[in-house]
Amino acid sequence: MTNTSPVPTDALVVGESPTVVELTTHPSVVALQEGFGSAIRSVTRDAVGYPVVWIDPEMIAPVLAFLRDDPGQDYDMLADIMGAHAGVGAPIQVWYQLWSMTHGRQLRISCQVPLEKLELDSVADQWLTANWLEREVWDMFGVTFKDHPDLRRILMPENYEEGFPLRKDFPLRGRFSRSEQVRRSLSRGLEDTYAMEELEMAGHVSAPSFDQSDPSLAEESLSIRDLEATEDVGDVLEGEPMLINMGPQHPSTHGVFRLRVTFDGEEILEVEPIFGYLHRGTEKLAESRNYTQIVTLTDRLDYVSSMINNQAYCLAVEELLGVEVPQRAKYLRTLTAELQRVASHLMGVGFFLQDLGTLGTPLMYSFRLRERILDLFEMLCGARITLSYSRPGGVFFDAPEDFWPALDQFLKDFETDYQEIQQLILENEIVMVRTRGVSVLPLDVAINASVSGPVLRASGLDWDWRKMAPYDAYDRMEFDVPIATGGDNYDRFWVRIQEIHQSIRIVKQCIEQIEPGPTRADVPLVLRPPVGAEAYGRVEASKGELAFYLVSDGGISPYRCKVRSPSLINLTVTEHLLVGWKLADMIVTLGSLDINMGEVDR
Amino acid sequence: MSCVLAPDNILHDTQLFRVIYEGVGGVLPCGLSYAVAGIAIMMLLVNGVLLGAGLFSWVERRLIGRFHNRVGPNRWGPFGTLQPLADLVKLIFKEDLTPRGADRILFSIVPVAMLAPVVLVMAVVPFAKDTALANLNVGVLYILAVTSITSIAIFMAGWASDNRYAMFGASRGVAVLISYEVPVVMSLLGVVLVAGSMSLDDVVSAQTVPFLLVQPMAFFVFLAGTSAELNRTPFDLAEAESEIIAGFHIEYSGVKFALIQAAEFGAVLTSSAVMVTLFLSGWSGPISNYLGWAWFLMKIGVLAFIFSWVRATFPRLRIDQLLAFAWKFLLPLSIINLFATALEVYFFRDSAGALDTTDLWIMAGINIPLALGCIFLFGILVRDKPNVLSAGPTKTDVLSVSVQEVS
**Given A364, A431, A437, which is nearest B69 (Cβ)?**
A364
Report CA B90 to chain centroid distance, whole Å: 28
Can you spell out the DSSP letters for A137-162? Answer: HHHHH--EEET-TT---SSS-TT--S
Mutate which of B168, B235, B398, B407 to disrupt the A interface (most A C-beta within 10 Å)? B398
What 3 state SS string does chain B have?
A: CCCCCCCCCCCCCCHHHHHHHHHHHCCCCHHHHHHHHHHHHHHHHHHHHHHHHHHHHHHHHHHHHHHCCCCCCCCCCHHHCCHHHHHHHHHHHCCCCCCCCCCHHHHHHHHHHHHHHHHHHHCCCCCCCCCCCCCCCCHHHHHHHHHCHHHHHHHHHHHHCCCHHHHHHHHHHHHHHHHHHHHHHHHHHHHHHHHCCCCHHHHHHHCCCCHHHHCHHHHHHHHHHHHHHCCCCCCCHHHCHHHHCCHHHCCCCHHHHHHHHHHHHHHHHHHHHHHHHHHCCCCCCCCCHHHHHHHHHHHHHHHHHHHHHHHHHCCCCCHHHHHHHHHHHHHHHHHHHHHHHHHHHHHHCCCCCCCCHHHHHHHHHHHHHHHHHHHHHHHHHHHCCHHHHCCCCCCCCCCCCCHHHHC
**Is the CB of B313 less than 8 angstroms away from the CB of A361?**
yes
Whether B70 and A434 lie within 8 Å, measured CB to CB: no
Q: Which of residues 529-568 of A touch B (CB under 8 A)?
A: none
Same domain, B115 and B79: no
The size of the A-B interface in CB pairs under 8 A is: 154
Contact A357/B240, CB-based, under 8 Å?
A: yes
Residues facing residue A520 across a β-bridge: A394
pLDDT of A414 strictly over 70: yes
pLDDT digit string (tens) for A306-349?
Answer: 999 999 999 999 888 888 889 899 999 999 999 999 999 999 99
**pLDDT over 70 (residue A195):** no
Question: Could you please report the per-residue DSSP string of A498-556?
Answer: HHHHHHHHHHHHHHHH-----SB----SS--PPTT-EEEEEEE-SSSEEEEEEE--SSS
Residue B108 lies in a domain: yes
Contact state of A428 with B315 under an 8 Å Cβ cutoff: yes
Is B168's CB within 8 Å of A266's CB?
A: yes
Contacts of B405 in chain A (CB under 8 A): none
**CB-CB neighbors (< 8 A) of B312 in chain A:** 359, 361
CB contacts of B236 in chain A (<8 Å) are 357
Inspect the interface and report whether the beta carbons of B320 and A582 lie closer than 8 Å.
yes
- Tell whether B48 is covered by a domain: yes
Q: Is A282-384+402-521+554-592 in CATH node 1.10.645.10?
A: yes
| Closest residue of chain A to B101, computed from CA coordinates | A210
pLDDT digits (tens, 9 = 90+) for B344-392: 888 877 777 677 778 778 888 888 888 888 888 887 777 645 443 333 3
Share in percent of chain A as helix, strand, coil (round to 5): 45, 15, 40
Q: Are residues B55 and B194 in the same domain?
A: no
Are A31 and A91 in contact by the 8 Å Cβ rule? The answer is: no
Chain B residues with CB under 8 Å of A361 CB are: 67-68, 312-313
pLDDT one-digit tens code per residue, A554-564: 888 888 889 99
Residue B315, in any domain of the structure: yes
Total number of domains constituting chain B: 2
B160 shares its domain with B24: no
d(CA A311, CA A298): 9
pLDDT tens column, A421-433: 888 787 777 888 8
Per-residue pLDDT at A468 exceeds 60:
yes
pLDDT tens for residues B26-50?
A: 777 777 878 888 888 888 888 888 8
DSSP designation for A221: -
The answer to whether the CB atoms of A431 and B165 lie below 8 A apart is no
Q: ipTM of this predicted complex? A: 0.81
The answer to whether residue A222 neighbours chain B at the CB level (below 8 Å) is no
Q: What is the mean pLDDT of residues B169-186?
A: 89
Bridging pattern class, strands A119-121 and A144-146? parallel
Cβ contact B243–A442 (<8 Å): no
Question: Cβ separation of B70 and A364 shorter than 8 Å?
Answer: yes
Instruction: Show residues of chain A in contact with B71, CB under 8 Å.
Output: none
Please name the member of B165, B315, B320 whose beta carbon is closest to the beta carbon of A357.
Answer: B315
pLDDT at residue B7 is higher than 80: no
- Are residues B81 and B194 both part of a single domain? no
Residue A313 is predicted with a pLDDT of 92
Q: What is the DSSP letter of A582?
A: B
| B275 and B384 within one domain | yes
What's the whole-number mean pLDDT along residues B67-83? 87
Structurally, what CATH architecture does the domain formed by A18-146 represent?
A: 2-Layer Sandwich (3.30)
List the single range of A214-223, A251-260, A335-344 with lowest mean pLDDT. A214-223
The residue ranges of every structural domain in chain A are 18-146, 178-274, 282-384+402-521+554-592
Q: B216 in a domain, yes or no?
A: yes
Provide the shortest C-alpha distance from residue B166 to chain A (in Å). 12
In a domain, B252, yes or no: yes
Q: What mean pLDDT, rounded, does chain B reach? A: 81
* Minimal C-alpha gap between B142 and chain A (Å): 31
Whether residue B225 sits in one domain with residue B161: yes
* Residues of chain A contacting residue B242, judged by C-beta atoms under 8 Å apart: 251-252, 354-357, 587
Alpha carbons A372 and A412: distance in angstroms, whole number: 12
Beta partners for residue A94, in sequence order:
A83, A111
Residue in chain B closest to A582 (alpha carbons) equals: B318
Do residues B80 and B167 share a domain? no
Between helix B149-160 and helix B164-195 the angle, nearest 10°, is 180
Tell me the chain A residues in contact with residue B321 when contact means C-beta distances shorter than 8 Å: 433-434
Percentage of chain A modeled with pLDDT above 90: 7
Of B85, B120, B154, the position where a domain reaches its end is B85
Please check the confidence at residue A4 and state whether its pLDDT lies above 60: no
pTM: 0.82
Alpha carbon of B90: minimum distance to chain A alpha carbons (Å): 23
| For testing contact with chain B, the best of A206, A250, A359 (most B CBs within 10 A) | A359
Shared domain check, B37 and B169? no
Q: What DSSP string runs through A553-576?
A: -SSSS-SEEEEE-HHHHHGGGHHH
Q: Within 13 Å, how many C-alpha atoms sit on residue B217's CB side?
A: 34
Do B80 and B205 sit in the same domain of this protein?
no
Same domain, B68 and B132: no
Q: Which range of residues forms the domain containing residue B211?
A: 94-388
Closest approach of B84 to chain A, Cα-based (Å) = 20
d(CA B107, CA A352) in angstroms, rounded, equals: 34
Q: Give the CA angle between residues A563, A142, A565 to the nearest 5°.
A: 15
Which is higher by pLDDT, A221 or B240?
Answer: B240
Q: Which of B54, B85, B116 is the last residue of a domain?
A: B85
Chain B contact for A210 (CB, 8 A cutoff): yes
Residues B290 and B356 in one domain: yes
> Same domain for B262 and B284?
yes
